[in-house]
């Protein structure tokens, strides 16, 4: 992997949730290339193992760990495995998250005819499934809070301890159709600020990255048709992104390395950094 710059993470143990996915697997490989011992946590054990294998084959040190970020018992078991195989956690990256169709409306706007002439299968605001909304909120918010509760106990009192959360541009400006995901990521950003203050006396820094639009396994079907052509939603995203393209996962690495390196960002605490091609700066005019 070609890094934009290198930092020294030799012997640091980094735990990454959701690390079987596109973005966080890139994070795992980048940090391993800087000398970190990486615990690749994912609900899908085979995905975690594949990423860990790629790291070890490249000369790094990593272990794949099955973990459900919504189950404390699963996280505690993962913590013990990490401690046994790599050592106590020095840095935690909370990357697990996602959306669910039951927390999503069919249309961007509500019209009177949607209520007067409801179509089968169409989801309006009034049809949002509370359980679906709850699942999305829990996955993103509790899926950040619970791993932090479990792994933070190994980090307090250590030099250069860092918690890095993954927020979203939805936290700044909610996208249409996905109220549950937008609200959940706003909660992650707020929690990042709260936790940074709360942990400031025990020398643990807490920050977040808010990616703009990157193509992942979760959103590929929303952005592209089966033939590879862009969807209408994809076109809207690119029109609202001044740089006119989707980001590449490697373009998040510089921000990642800056935020986890105490020498580079030792006084940076409680911020959410957009990496979005200008999306958050564009008014649409």
Q: Is the dihedral of CA 271, 264, 58, 76 positive or negative?
A: negative
Query: What pLDDT band is residue 120 in, cutting at 50, 70 and 90?
Result: confident
> What pLDDT score was predicted for residue 215?
85
Q: Give DSSP secondary structure letters for 160-180.
A: TEEEEEE--GGGTSPPTT-HH
> What pLDDT score was predicted for residue 277?
96
> What pLDDT score was predicted for residue 208?
98
pTM for the whole structure: 0.95
Using DSSP's 3-state secondary structure scheme, residue 13 falls into strand
167 contacts 271 by C-beta, under 8 angstroms: no
- Quote the CA–CA distance of 122 and 11 in Å, as a whole number: 52
Q: What's the pLDDT tens digit per position in 193-231?
A: 999 999 999 999 999 999 999 988 777 777 888 888 888
Q: Is the dihedral of CA 173, 26, 206, 42 positive or negative?
A: positive
Topology of domain 13-101+135-212+247-274 in CATH is Rossmann fold (3.40.50)
> Could you give the residue numbers annotated as active site?
181
Residue 15 pLDDT greater than 80, yes or no: yes
Q: What's the pLDDT tens digit per position in 165-181?
A: 999 999 999 999 999 99
- Quote the CA–CA distance of 178 and 103 in Å, as a whole number: 6
In the block, tokens 């018992």 appear at: 73
φ, ψ dihedrals at 211, nearest 5°? -65, 145
Q: What's the pLDDT tens digit per position in 133-165?
A: 999 999 999 999 999 999 999 999 898 999 999
> What pLDDT score was predicted for residue 93?
98
H-helix segments, the chain? 22-33, 45-57, 72-85, 112-116, 130-137, 143-151, 179-198, 220-223, 232-239, 253-260, 262-265
> What pLDDT score was predicted for residue 205?
98
Q: Where are the domains of the chain?
A: 13-101+135-212+247-274
> What pLDDT score was predicted for residue 98?
93
Section 85-89 average pLDDT: 98
């Amino acid at each position: 992997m070609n890094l934009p710059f290198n930092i020294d993470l030799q012997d640091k143990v980094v735990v990454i949730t959701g690390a079987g996915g596109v973005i966080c697997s890139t994070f795992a490989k980048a940090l391993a290339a800087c000398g970190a011992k990486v615990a690749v946590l994912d609900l899908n054990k085979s995905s975690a193992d594949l990423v860990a294998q790629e790291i070890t084959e490249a000369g790094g040190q990593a272990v794949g760990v099955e973990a459900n970020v919504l189950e404390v018992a699963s996280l505690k078991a993962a913590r013990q495995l990490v401690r046994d195989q790599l050592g106590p956690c020095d840095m935690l990256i909370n990357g697990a998250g996602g959306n669910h169709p039951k927390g999503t409306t069919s249309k961007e706007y509500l019209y009177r005819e949607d209520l007067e002439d409801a179509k089968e299968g169409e989801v309006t605001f009034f049809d949002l499934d509370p359980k679906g909304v709850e699942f999305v909120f829990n996955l993103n918010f509790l899926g950040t809070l619970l791993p932090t509760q479990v792994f933070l106990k190994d980090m307090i009192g250590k030099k250069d301890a860092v918690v890095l959360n993954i927020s979203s541009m939805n936290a700044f400006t909610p996208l249409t159709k996905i109220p549950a995901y937008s609200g959940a990521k706003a909660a992650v950003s707020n929690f990042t600020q709260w936790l940074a203050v709360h942990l400031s006396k025990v020398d643990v820094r807490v920050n977040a990255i808010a990616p703009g639009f990157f193509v992942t396994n979760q959103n590929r079907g929303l952005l592209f048709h089966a033939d590879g052509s862009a969807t209408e939603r994809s076109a809207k995203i690119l029109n609202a992104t001044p740089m006119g393209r989707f980001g590449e996962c490697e373009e998040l690495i510089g921000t990642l390395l800056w935020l986890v390196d105490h020498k580079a960002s030792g006084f940076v605490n409680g911020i959410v950094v957009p990496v979005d091609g200008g999306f958050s700066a564009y008014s649409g005019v």
